[in-house]
Amino acid sequence: MSDVMYLDTNEAIERTTKQGKSIKPIGVRITPYIEAYNNGQIKVEIDDLDTDLEFIGRGAERNSHIEVGVEFKACPSDFLGSYRDGRIPEQLIHMVNSYDISYLVLVGEQLQINFENGKIQEHEDIKRGNKGSLVDSPFTSHYINSTLSRFEAAGGHMRIVPDIEHLAAFLISLYRFWTKEDHKPEVFIRHRMKRMDWGMINNPMAEIYERMLIGPKNAMTLSEVAPTIQDLAVMSDKDLVNLPGFGRKTMLKIRKIVGSAVDGQQEVN
């Protein structure tokens, strides 16, 4: 198992505002810390992901794999912003349905409550990139806690860290734990229950491919171009990466289970 964390493309791109101000996403800022703290042992690669960061770990049973997904948000700015545009409920639901282990990590300050009205507070000038005085947000503490409680009840986990450096340390620790050679018997992992694509009922190869942890939609796509394992084995890495909805990460999952029978195949970087 290679020592690789995958970072979403959107988290790896530094942006410039219309006013010429540089904006560095959290992913851009944590990458140097992750690589420096491990003497380069854990690499960070870029891919199109369903969340901010993910990696493949080991399950409690020998040779079993699990997928770990992490969503991180600056707090309170991006965290409350994700409530304003409706992102957060959809993101959390998707995480617990897509990953065996899912984490939401808030980076920054503890949430502050106005105890007179129960509203979560935010900085007044946050839209201008400044930290002004605290004012009431539109969201109550109860509303936000209810959302997070449902996430945890479905198997999600939540952490709060003070800054980027602490986030990097947490991710390294998380990676080291879930990629250990063996876990003690008391470690319990509840594997996710995916929504079954009913088209698989008459497509046994799609069901087999879905067990490679590539998802029902990708499994259906793969079954159409590779109706047998032999067909899959002779496909090149490039052929797999270029399939709709696929990428290097999905290709590597397949290669861990079914190697290539093509001599001299050119590896996709």
What DSSP string runs through 130-191? ----EEEEEEEHHHHHHHHHHHHHTT-EEEEESSHHHHHHHHHHHHHHHT-S---TT-----
To which H or E segment does residue 33 belong?
A: helix 26-37
Q: Which two tokens stand for residue 177?
A: 């734990």
Average pLDDT value for residue range 141-147? 93
Look at residue 261 and tell me whether its pLDDT is greater than 50: no
40 vs 201, which has greater pLDDT? 40
Which tokens in the block code for residue 218? 């990708």
Backbone phi and psi for residue 72, each to the nearest 5 degrees, phi listed first? -120, 145
The pLDDT value recorded for residue 190 is 57
Contact in structure between 81 and 122 (CB atoms under 8 Å): no
Domains of the chain, first to last? 4-178 (3.40.50.10130), 198-257 (1.10.150)
What is the average per-residue pLDDT within 63-81? 89
Whether 123 shows a pLDDT value over 70: the answer reads yes
Q: How confident is the model at residue 82 (pLDDT cuts 50, 70, 90)?
A: very high
Rounded to the nearest 5 degrees, what angle is found at the Cα of 188, between the Cα atoms of 56 and 3? 20
Are the beta carbons of 121 and 112 closer than 8 angstroms?
Answer: yes
